[in-house]
Chain A
Amino acid sequence: MNLFADAFAWILNPGNWEGRNSIPQFIGEHLWYTVLAMILASAIAIPLGWYIGHTGRGRDIAVAATGAARALPSFGLLFLFVMIGGVANRDSSVMIVLALLAIPPILAGAYAGFEAIDRRVIDAARSMGMTERQIVARVEIPLGLPLLWGGLRNAVLQVVATVVLVGFVRNATLGYPIVQGIQINRFDQMLGASVLIIVLALLLDAIFALLERYATPAGVRAGRNRDHRTSSTRRRAAGGATPASTEKEMSV
């Protein structure tokens, strides 16, 4: 299709890579809004989620609130906040909206991470003489990390997609070439910016997927590996020779 060729031509056009309102600037702004919103949302949602996960208090409210918040119309919310806050404060309004969107998945990841831990492990930690603070810091946080990273990953996808709306209130982010493109009928620019947003989202998702994997404590990963091994006897049988490492493990 010609349109796609035009879009890539717009992306690759050297003129769009320098000066004011260039692609690098838009990407930088896009990431800036995303990171700031994630930090803001994490600062609120992670401690709150850990508190809920550790104490069990407010769990019902959190579940209901996160469920409802997922249905928030981001576009409407943004304009509502900009109208209430005034155009002069529109950056704060944007941040609040983005953070509001990011909080539910982060909150859910934080408390679900704690809840997924075997109660007997926590009971054992407590009966050994760990204080509540030590239980949180040394048992619950490390064991809850994988699910928290999963929540952060969901949140960052949501935010990076929603930052586009910033283009409606400010000449910034990859949303701006789209908004401007609508006004001046530049389809190459609109599609080109969209492609860049998709690439950005996929990249961030890949990074968070890696972090999520890395955050899984080694001992938990070790257990999972063993599960894989025991569940795949047929494949091993089909494969013939057992790897030496597996044999060593089994003989213990």
Chain B
Amino acid sequence: MIEFRSIEKLFPDGTRAVDDFSLVIPSHKTTVFVGSSGCGKTTLLRMINRMVDATGGELLIDDENVASIEPVRLRRRIGYVMQNSGLLPHRTVIDNITTVPRLTGVPTKDARARALELMDTVGLDRAMAERYPAQLSGGQQQRVGVARGLAIDPNILLMDEPFGAVDPIVRAELQQELLRLQRELGKTVVFVTHDIDEAFLLGDQVVILEKGARIAQKGTPEEILANPASDFVASFIGADRGKRALSIRDVDGERVVVDGDGNLAGRLTEPGAA
């Protein structure tokens, strides 16, 4: 469990990026921070592994204040996946995946064996182990990034817009893979995105943030969709444009679903039917 207690971040230039932010992130679930650029979502994420230090309030991981944990030790316990994968360009795929285990003294042989298993887990061909990041596609690089994040078998996995830089088809594929992984592994995932559809797809808990990291609404995707808390949320999730308001139309006895603009969204079937 990760707990933000009245967290505040004041940058030296006077920008108040985060003001009195409190939130509980449950274990073994995916929590998504979603909001427009500059709303402070990445700052919040980076506070968890102390890449950014709060200037006020407390951040607890399993009731332990992160401020009391040495940053390097803390970071080695937490998986981190970033946009553009952040792989080390001069190291092969397998060396990238085993970076952290080797820093913590895991024997090279064990680390490599585990890395090969992880490559299976994230859907990478083992034959790519000796390649360099520049020889991989964007989607493959991102998979390596995820494998690297999982290499130390962390309880917590932080993901900072990990699929932001890949094309939509690959992104959809990676999102499905993440859902599958999460079903298998049950990590505490904290995911940052500006894409509300991605947030609704991946999040058990979705936190919609306004400027200054104020929580506009938090809840399950269903709760947010059913009851947008404010005009801002309604606009952000697209409810005001009718994107989320589906209606049923009869076509030759079949019931099809259309969105607010009259565009076809799908066909209505009874629950349980194909």
Contacts and interface: CB of A to CB of B under 8 A. Distances in A.
A223 B99 CA distance: 20
A128 interface: yes
27 contacts: A121-B87, A127-B46, A127-B49, A127-B51, A127-B75, A127-B80, A127-B82, A128-B80, A129-B72, A130-B99, A130-B103, A131-B72, A138-B88, A142-B90, A143-B90, A218-B90, A219-B90, A219-B91, A219-B132, A219-B134, A220-B90, A222-B132, A223-B134, A223-B135, A224-B134, A252-B136, A252-B137
Interface centre among B88, B100, B131 (most CB of A within 10 A): B88
A120 interface: yes
Interface in B73-119: 73-76, 80, 82-92, 99-100, 103-104
A217 interface: yes
B88 A121 contact: yes
Contact of B88 (A125, A126, A129): A125
A13 interface: no
Interface residues of B, number: 34
A137 to B, nearest CB: 12
B133 interface: yes
A141 to B, nearest CB: 10
A226 B135 contact: yes
A226 B89 CA distance: 13
Contacts of B128: 252
Interface size class of A (residues with CB under 8 A): 20 to 34
B103 A217 contact: no
A123 interface: yes
Interface in A207-252: 217-220, 222-224, 226, 249, 252
Contact of A129 (B73, B134, B135): B73
A124 B82 contact: yes
Which of B49, B72, B100, B140 has most chain A Cβ within 10 Å?
B72
Contact of B134 (A120, A123, A124, A220): A220
Contact of A128 (B76, B84, B85): B76
Nearest to B51: A127
Contacts of B9: none
B103 A222 contact: no
